[in-house]
């Protein structure tokens, strides 16, 4: 072996030995890329299709949608889904600031999910008490999954789109053990409805 070959072998051995000795320290400095953590939420309409949501709704007619939540957080999570109903002038959650709607929830679902699992629920609902008075429509009772809920929502006639518009939407909250409470998880889904008189 030549002197240059021996020198190269000596340098490689020193570098290898140095890496072995420093490997515990390097583990603190260099971390392997971690899996992206996120939650997902969706709402599907008739036939479990996007866009097949009930739009023209009437009193005492049953409608169905499919609500889903997926856990990609890397560990077991406890979710709460708040159901809210709004008229066309009331606020949705603020996506820019990550804050929930100030509206009171009318119903909720509690969901426990291990990592990489999903929960999907068929939700049936109908409006039991609707009254029309000139340019106003009042929804007094919503029945969701066989639970009668007092909602008392008034919507005005929208001249531009020719309807009384309301939106049923769902906010995703996540239990934070560090503060021992649910916090808004910056996700919501919903669909717009035009409430019409029974024919």
Nearest to 172 by CA among 67, 79, 36: 79
Average of pLDDT values for 160-168? 95
Is 28 in the same domain as 67?
no
Is 134 in the same domain as 58?
yes
Is 166 in the same domain as 96?
yes
Please write the tens of the pLDDT for every residue from 4-52.
Answer: 655 655 655 655 555 556 555 545 545 545 678 999 999 999 999 998 9
173 is in which domain, residue-wise?
38-195
Please write the tens of the pLDDT for every residue from 83-125.
Answer: 999 999 999 999 899 999 999 999 999 999 999 999 999 999 9
Interstrand relation of 117-133 and 136-144 (parallel, antiparallel or unpaired): antiparallel
């Amino acid at each position: 072996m030549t002197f240059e070959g021996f020198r190269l072998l000596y340098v490689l051995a020193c570098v290898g030995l140095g890496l072995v000795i420093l490997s515990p320290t390097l583990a603190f400095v260099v971390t392997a890329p971690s899996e992206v953590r996120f939650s997902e939420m969706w709402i599907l309409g008739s036939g479990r299709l996007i866009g097949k949501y009930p739009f023209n709704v009437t009193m005492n007619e049953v409608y169905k949608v499919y609500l889903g939540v997926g856990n990609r957080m890397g560990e077991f999570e406890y979710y709460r889904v708040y159901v809210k109903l709004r008229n066309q002038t009331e606020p949705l959650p603020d996506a820019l600031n990550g804050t929930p709607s100030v509206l009171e929830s009318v119903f909720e679902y509690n969901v426990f999910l291990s990592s990489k699992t999903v929960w999907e629920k068929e939700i049936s609902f109908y409006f039991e008490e609707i009254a029309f008075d000139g340019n106003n429509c009042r929804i007094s009772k919503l029945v969701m999954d066989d639970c009668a809920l007092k909602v008392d929502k008034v919507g005005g006639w929208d001249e531009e789109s020719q309807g009384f518009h309301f939106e049923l939407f769902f906010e995703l909250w996540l239990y934070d053990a560090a503060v021992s409470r649910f916090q808004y998880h910056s996700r919501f889904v919903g669909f717009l409805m035009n409430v019409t008189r029974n024919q």
